[in-house]
Amino acid sequence: MNFLRNSLAAVGLCGLSSLALAAGNPLSVHVLNLENGLPSPGVKVTLEQHVGQDWKALSEGVTNEQGRISELFPTGQALTAGEYRVVFKTGEYFKQAKRDTFFPEIPVIFEVKQTEQHYHIPLLLSPYGFSTYRGS
């Protein structure tokens, strides 16, 4: 029962957090721990763009105390249509917490079609599973 309650709380926090972020940088992320319903600070996250056959590194950041990176897209660059990949370095996060995990990193590939919109990628995380969706 606690797991379900914590999961619902985490989903609610993701929705509320994205409202405040929609006006600035075109890409934000949020990582929440499903085991305890709390934010996951200290998760390294990278952003890459699919160019030809390769992935081009664009930026990286680390989640803050609220488990967020509100400005992951490079400042001063225009968001263009195409495929992007956000990689959450979860192995490092769990290692620092002295926990095992099945997923050392979690890549989330998404497509940008409307460049004027804000893209928010929440990650609901546990050591042996995860869920993500497009936030707003």
Q: Taking the complete model, does pTM exceed 0.85, yes or no?
A: no
Left if phi > 0, otherwise alpha if psi is -120 to 50, otherwise beta: which for 98?
A: left
Query: Domain spanning 41-132: which superfamily?
Result: Transthyretin/hydroxyisourate hydrolase domain (2.60.40.180)
Q: For residue 11, is pLDDT > 60? A: no
pLDDT per residue as tens digits for the range 27-52:
999 999 999 999 999 999 999 999 99
Would you place residue 24 in the very low, low, confident or very high pLDDT band (cuts 50, 70, 90)?
Answer: confident
Q: Are 7 and 33 in contact (CB under 8 A)?
A: no
d(CA 25, CA 135): 14
The reply to whether 68 sits in an annotated binding site is yes
What is the signed CA dihedral for 36, 5, 17, 87, rounded to 10 degrees?
50
